Chain A
Amino acid sequence: MTVLNSKIPAGPLTEKWSKHKAAIKVVSPANKRKLDIIVVGTGLAGGSAAASLAEMGYNVKAFCYQDSGRRAHSIAAQGGINAAKNYQNDNDSVFRLFYDTIKGGDYRAREGNVYRLAEVSGEIIDQCVAQGVPFAREYGGTLSNRSFGGVLVSRTFYARGQTGQQLLLGCYASMNRMIGQGKIEMHERNEMLDIVTIDGKARGIITRNLVTGEIERHGAHAVVIASGGYGNVFFLSTNAMGCNGGAAWQAYKNGAYFGNPCFVQIHPTCIPVHGEQQSKLTLMSESLRNDGRVWTPKKKEDAIKLQKGQMSPNDISDEDRDFYLERRYPSYGNLVPRDVASRAAKERCDEGFGVNETGKAVYLDFKYSIERLGRDVIEARYGNLFQMYEKITDANPYNEPMQIYPAIHYSMGGVWVDYNLMTNIPGLYAIGEANFSDHGGNRLGASALMQGLADGYFILPYTIGDYLADEIQTPRVDMNHPEFVKKEKAATTRMERLFNIKGSKSVDSFHRRLGNIMWDYVGMARNEKGLKYAIEEIAKIREDFYKDLRIPGEFNSMNIELEKAGRVEDFLELGDLMARDALNRNESCGGHYREESTTEEGEAKRDDENFTFVSAWEYKGEGQEPILHKEDLVFETVELTQRSYK
């Protein structure tokens, strides 16, 4: 087994980042002008990185598959962003945010990275305020906070239920300023298909122009992957329809290790699946658990009546309601972390207490907080979420409880990176959800926005200089280099192969099949038998995919089906690696729940002796088994305990 070098600086936890910053190299302003950086993805991580790097003087080329950088799926984050400001005087601190994140991640994240994340969290809020992000305010003019799952303090900053939107528009505005000044070359409707390495270093990417169908070459001195997560491997998820694992997956296929692929987050509060015609799930913000109480009926006969539509939830008296989160976890109650809340919902539904026609839903009830605070207060806090719920379900959550059920939401796993956020390919970086580094086995609510912006505003802009300082003599990359020619040809061949199958089934039909297998066997509960079955089934779907895929339309033009086919091709491979990783990790931790490893009370049981490591998978070529490398996780500060929210 190779020991991976995470490059975590030595020394006390509190000094690691400042000492590291002092030790790494910087690039002079005159030299920054000569260096090009490619950023793939324009969400919070990519957008903030692109803007910051351009402001510093680098030449940035940014890419997104949507028609504008503002559409990246960070925009849909609702609840908020964490920061250790201690504005509420509730004894919050950098250490407490660090500790909550490590514990919330079930002790599978790096101490050094997470402490740094907590350290820079406060600066993010300052930056966003300076950009004009209209955070919620108190009457005195100061910033307002609310609570999120897995913590006992109020450290979440928010802009109604549209925090992600406002933060993204903040860094998008900064990007726009740099595009206007010619420091960012923006490529919308452009999808990355491959990475070009020359002499072992990342030197560019190959993309497909989604409007013309042309395959293009783009060169740079460094490449940053900020393409988000791969939740869409499950077909139904809270991700946007276009979210894909493609850029991260191409990094993997070019030799970058993929970290903890089996760690995906299942969000407890999504609108339940309504039927076969569904293509997308909608999240209801975790912030709702501040004021909503989660319950199912105590009596099975009530559940059965609810399932048959013979009874209304309002007919059930308080005594007959089982507030199972408050019952099982009295100290955190409805605000337990996402993995815990999701499993508890599944447990109730599996026992037959689900409340809708499919039996796969629980209630999130605002009756009590409306009684306590008044409808106006609840409307001011969550009005847009309630409206969204009503539009989708045609039910009014002010009058009857919301129905919710867990759904795939976020990927903690991603491209393996060191402390500098560089992959094991020199010059290739991965930031935001696309990397694996900060959330361990489970991400806490309001921490994705924090991590994306921490990476993009305050970490990558420093650490990338350490690498680029040695590249100042490297001339602008020659895009006629044989490697570019080769990779462009390979990308064209790959797309032609898919286009020329000329079978009979749509891309979606394969995606749906894959999603069903993933949800049933690599979803909320996993076991050895199921995972082995999933690996076999995925192989069969792949085989059918290459035999029977049909892509109508033309090759050299806008072709939506061809775009989707490339993404699903990646998902089919990614799903296989996720199942392998889940099979290998025979412990339960965070969102990864192995039925073989549970406590007597049915909680996830870690196996620290055998699994306190990051799985980093190495691609060995088509048809070859990937190789597992282990990065041991060293805990110098935190003591590993069985996580309890009781």
Chain B
Amino acid sequence: MADKILKELTIRVWRQKDAKSKGKLESYKINNISGGTSFLEMLDILNEELINKGTEPIAFDHDCREGICGMCSLFVNGRAHGPDNDITTCQLHMRKFSEGETITIEPWRAGAFPVIKDLIVDRMAFEKVLQSGGYISVNTGGVPDGNAIPISYDDAEEAMDAAACIGCGACVATCKNSSAMLFVSAKVSHLAKLPQGRVEATRRAKNMVAKMDELGFGNCTNTGACEVECPKGISIANIARLNREFLSATIKE
């Protein structure tokens, strides 16, 4: 199927030299982009043109380009991962844009995700939250046979729904409070739904919530924006489960 060609687009993009410098939006023109080209390939082309002019290319995070690694993180025309549903930025294609359009690209904006350069942000806060409890405390070796503990089909499926989180940070970037509740709740739910993870479920919830608060993520006010922009369709029902686990942990104390 032949894709349309976009003859001219204006790209307004956030340029920031480093964490300490002040950034600003700059505009570039780009021509003859096929609708079948991915959004990040369009940026590759723009960067090639910038390099040919001797300008420093736009720095942005990306890696797998298949929507699974969670590295890409652009705010496009006011939406995390751009104008399409259930995708990451790398899965966004230029057929979603129209001729002559001005496309604005910004980094994730959240206090807990400081900008490193241009569109690249530091998401170490997510790492720290997971390090505080996002695991099952089991060493390699000495575990029971995989079929020893039956797990119901529905529980396995629900765990998988929550485990599908790719850790991109779109939920935080979208939330007006920069809350990480969807991210944290996805991990808590994934593990709490499984008998193996049940054992330390409340402890996990308590530790992860404490770490999340400490790192400067905002509070959840149930706007549901996170769910809408999550590329993997993680449900806010997980937040309810997190609240339940957290409450049960505090009551036990």
Which A residues have a C-beta under 8 Å from some C-beta of B?
48, 51-52, 55, 66-68, 70-73, 75-76, 85, 87, 122-123, 125-132, 134-143, 157, 159-160, 162, 165-166, 169, 173-174, 176-177, 179-180, 186, 188, 211, 240-242, 274-275, 277-280, 282-283, 309, 357, 387-388, 391-395, 457-458, 461, 504, 506, 508-509, 550, 552-553, 557-558, 560-561
Contacts and interface: CB of A to CB of B under 8 A. Distances in A.
A277 B33 contact: yes
A586 to B, nearest CB: 36
B9 interface: no
A68 B69 CA distance: 10
Contact of A131 (B35, B86, B166, B196): B196
A228 to B, nearest CB: 12
Contacts of B52: 504, 506
Given A278-B41, A550-B51, A561-B51, A71 B70 contact: yes
B136 A159 contact: no
A394 B1 contact: yes
A132 B132 contact: no
Nearest to A124: B146
Contacts of A504: 52
A503 to B, nearest CB: 11
B167 A70 contact: yes
A458 B35 CA distance: 47
A48 B191 contact: no
A132 B136 contact: yes
16 contacts: A55-B140, A127-B140, A130-B144, A132-B194, A134-B157, A141-B150, A143-B147, A159-B163, A173-B134, A240-B65, A241-B64, A277-B37, A280-B38, A309-B1, A391-B67, A394-B3
B51 A174 contact: no
A141 B149 CA distance: 8
Contacts of A125: 146
Nearest to B140: A52
A277 B41 contact: yes
A66 to B, nearest CB: 6
B68 A76 contact: yes
Interface in B89-146: 91, 93, 95, 116-117, 120, 122-124, 126-127, 130-141, 143-146
Contact of A552 (B55, B144, B164): B55
Interface residues of B, number: 86
Given A134-B160, A279-B41, A395-B1, A66 B167 contact: no
A232 B144 CA distance: 39
A188 B35 CA distance: 35
Q: Is the interface of B mostly helix, strand, loop or mixed?
A: loop
Of B34, B57, B132, B197, chain A has the most CB atoms within 10 Å of the CB of B57
Given A68-B167, A179-B131, A132 B191 contact: yes
Nearest to A165: B68
Contact of B140 (A51, A76, A87, A357): A51
A160 B161 CA distance: 10
Given A71-B69, A274-B34, A508 B147 contact: no
A162 B151 CA distance: 19
B59 interface: yes
A506 B46 CA distance: 12
Contacts of A159: 160, 163
A560 B132 CA distance: 31
Contacts of B70: 68, 70-71, 75
Nearest to B160: A134
Given A391-B93, A558-B117, 18 more contacts: A48-B140, A55-B140, A68-B126, A73-B63, A76-B68, A127-B140, A127-B141, A129-B143, A131-B135, A132-B163, A134-B156, A160-B160, A177-B137, A242-B63, A387-B86, A394-B95, A458-B140, A553-B57
Contacts of B251: none
A160 B159 CA distance: 12
A162 B164 contact: yes
B44 interface: yes
B134 A557 contact: no
A503 B149 CA distance: 62
B138 A76 contact: no
User: Closest 4 A-B residue pairs measured CB to CB?
Assistant: A141-B150, A173-B135, A130-B143, A180-B131
A461 B140 CA distance: 10
A283 B65 CA distance: 11
A553 to B, nearest CB: 4
Contacts of A278: 37, 41
Given A240-B64, A561-B51, A68 B127 contact: yes
Contacts of B37: 274-275, 277-278
A66 B135 contact: no
